Amino acid sequence: MAVKSVALVAHDNKKKELVDWVSRNKTRFAQLKLFATGTTGKLLAERLGRDDVVRLLSGPLGGDQQIGAKIAEGEIDVLVFFWDPLEPQPHDPDIKALLRIAALWNIPVACNSATAEFILTSAYMTDDQHQIAKPDFSYYTTRTTPQ
């Protein structure tokens, strides 16, 4: 079975909720490769006792874009992003770009613990027979632009 990679991102007001949820599912996460942005990665590594959490930059400093790049490079299988819908974010364009790239590459995205629980416990996470289809971009690479 191929090891799945999960990107974990949380806004400041959601970090505790994300870390608590991952901690409750520590056994399931033990077999997964974890990527996280800045402080979220530090908190997860400490709580889980894992030194293999790949820590990227803080979201506002480019971490969201780094996760997006890893999605485009095929390194991320799932995005768990506990974002705060009640707090304006100064790096909102980066957040939208991350969610856009995840949708483009057909990556399952969870924005809350209920959805994250569905994804984490799905056959996709444990069974190589359940693969998410990657999009066919041939239309975009073969079409010509009008002159």
pLDDT of residue 19: 98
pLDDT of residue 91: 73
Q: Which domains does the chain have, with CATH numbers?
A: 5-142 (3.40.50.1380)
Residue that has been written with the tokens 């975009």 in this structure? 140
32/15 Cα distance (integer angstroms): 19
Phi, psi of 102 (to 5 degrees): -65, -45
Mean pLDDT by 10 residues, the chain (147 residues): 90 95 96 96 97 94 95 96 83 88 96 96 83 76 65
SS3 content of the chain, % helix, strand, coil (to 5): 50, 15, 40
Q: By C-alpha distance, which of 84, 89, 82, 74 is closest to 37? A: 82
Question: Using alpha carbons only, what angle is made at residue 18 by residues 16 and 22, rounded to the nearest 5 degrees?
Answer: 115
**Residue 64 annotated in active site:** yes
pLDDT of residue 136: 81
* Terminal-residue alpha carbon distance, the chain: 49
Residue that has been written with the tokens 């209920």 in this structure? 114
117/80 Cα distance (integer angstroms): 10
pLDDT of residue 28: 94
Which tokens hold the place of 65? Answer: 């874009």
**Exactly one of 20, 51, 52, 64 is catalytic; which is it?**
64
For 77, counting Cβ atoms within 10 Å of its Cβ (0-12 exposed, 13-18 middle, 19+ buried), the class is buried
pLDDT of residue 143: 64
